[in-house]
A and B are shown apart, each in its own frame.
Chain A
């Protein structure tokens, strides 16, 4: 079952790509991450040109996040006010990212920068989450009541000027913090084809200090609009969105997201966070190995 991809200029196995989309979709529904941080590297590993992989993965993430957002919307789990601030940053970030992309590509350092970004972000966030969820598990195991950690945002966030009320998230803080977070993830969406959920979810929890019930829904909301912006920017600048590839990934991804959202209701949230932490750390390790070991291909071709 092979299919030719008109933009990627190669043929792929349909079942492989749909299965890849499905696996990533389950993660997406469970954790509120887009799953792009897995899709893009796996597509590149399959042999799809990196730019096409990143662009098409972003398009796919749009679809999976729509599919997942329903469940959370109905439960009132989306803070649209917070979401709007994040999206504003996200769109600005996509445009910045496009400029950065072109500049780094001309320098020939795009791959290294992408890998280093992955490593730094995933490594630190995975570690944070792992420590936190293990502590919570240990507390539960020893029969103690889980220490009710006071939810609060990072001291740096408190120092920012101008304060808004985010009722649903239970926050009174400067919108500059989520705006900055939005810009950061927008840049990453453009460069890495990721929705940024795996950065956004922990950042919302540990840096902004949002109500955990709002985190996943709001993150999906932000991902939806940021990936739309990045698909548009890619279509106009790099022309690398492969609509056939994105559709294949989506067929798997949309189904996976539904399964994931149902699983999420059954699994204990602490264990779920531990699960995500482990996935994130594994991807970071893979990146570190990729950077330190001699790569399979010493030479790479760049079309001029």
Chain B
């Protein structure tokens, strides 16, 4: 790689696009990208597959002998939630205990080139929140650690089955130690907001480079208009819903009497 190209790439890394390198100069840098910077939700939206790809650039232009690993994480906006657990009381299943989580992401997907526990230790994973077990969910109002663990597992399990939490070990492909790519599915029921796509370069159990990109997921057109009206103009929205409903019913009645 020519010095000029390296310089250009370094300049790219400094752009305020949210990319950053944790390592000092001399360490490899990441040039990440995603297939879409914005996902528009409209009437035909059934989910979208995101391709995260990029290059690992080593300062001397040569990949080291040991294998480096890549982890990509897509994370949705966080929102406080309360998780309730059903238990059998007097023969029927009712909600009994509950735990609050102050910062549960609405969507979280992680793909890595190897299983996470083989690449980094728990402490590092927790610092960068890599892996579903390492999310900091900011729990509140729990009794003890056993209860908390049960609820955390319950939350992760529930969200995984809703495909809103994804963990894919081996989901990242690395070509010739320099180019990587991963596909992650964004399902239709994702919350809207600003998402971040982070890429971690990992070597010898350490995170040596981090880069991130923002992805906006937003409703557009008619869907945006309806969602906005429902949220902010409840009274008018309700009147329109009632009118529409009456007109449709009336029309159907009229139509049937003619035939």
Contact = CB atoms under 8 A, between A and B. Distances in A.
B122 interface: no
A192 B222 CA distance: 28
A257 B248 CA distance: 12
B235 interface: yes
B44 interface: yes
Contacts, number: 177
Interface stretch (B11-19, B64-72, B207-215, B238-246): B238-246
A286 to B, nearest CB: 14
B91 A109 contact: no
Contacts of B157: 299
B251 A254 contact: yes
A10 B241 CA distance: 19
Of listed B219, B227, B230, residue having the most chain A CB within 10 A: B230
B221 to A, nearest CB: 10
Contact of B86 (A67, A228, A255, A295): A295
A4 interface: yes
B83 interface: yes
B44 A3 contact: yes
Contact of A235 (B46, B192, B241, B244): B241
B4 interface: no
Contacts of A265: none
Interface string B18-29: 000000000000
A232 B231 contact: no
A108 B189 CA distance: 23
Interface residues of B, number: 60
Nearest to B92: A291
A109 B96 CA distance: 9
A2 interface: yes
Given A11-B45, A62-B249, A243-B237, A108 B95 contact: yes
B189 A10 contact: yes
Contacts of B41: 4
B7 interface: no
Contact of A112 (B79, B94, B151, B231): B94
B81 A302 contact: yes
B48 to A, nearest CB: 11
Contacts of B44: 2-4
Nearest to A2: B46
Contact residue range for chain A? 35 or more
Contact of B94 (A62, A64, A109, A236): A109
A176 interface: no
A250 B248 contact: yes
A251 interface: yes
A9 interface: yes
A300 B42 CA distance: 28
Contact of A234 (B93, B190, B238): B238
A7 interface: yes
A292 B248 contact: no
Interface string A271-298: 0000000000000000000011111011
Interface string A98-125: 0000000000110110001000000000
B226 interface: yes
A66 B231 contact: no
A253 B92 CA distance: 34
B99 to A, nearest CB: 10
B226 A6 contact: yes
A299 to B, nearest CB: 4
Of listed B79, B93, B191, residue having the most chain A CB within 10 A: B93
Contacts of B188: 2, 4, 10-11
A243 B155 CA distance: 30
B223 A70 contact: no
A235 B230 contact: yes
Given A235-B230, A239-B234, A65 B86 contact: no
A59 interface: yes
Contacts of B237: 235, 241, 243
Interface of B: 41-47, 79-86, 88, 91-95, 98, 100, 151, 154-155, 157-158, 188-192, 219, 222-224, 226-227, 230-231, 234-235, 237-242, 244-246, 248-253, 256-257
Given A253-B249, A299-B158, 6 more contacts: A62-B242, A62-B249, A68-B253, A257-B249, A292-B93, A304-B80
18 contacts: A4-B188, A9-B190, A59-B245, A60-B245, A62-B249, A65-B249, A66-B253, A70-B257, A232-B235, A232-B238, A232-B242, A236-B238, A250-B249, A254-B253, A300-B86, A301-B81, A302-B81, A302-B82
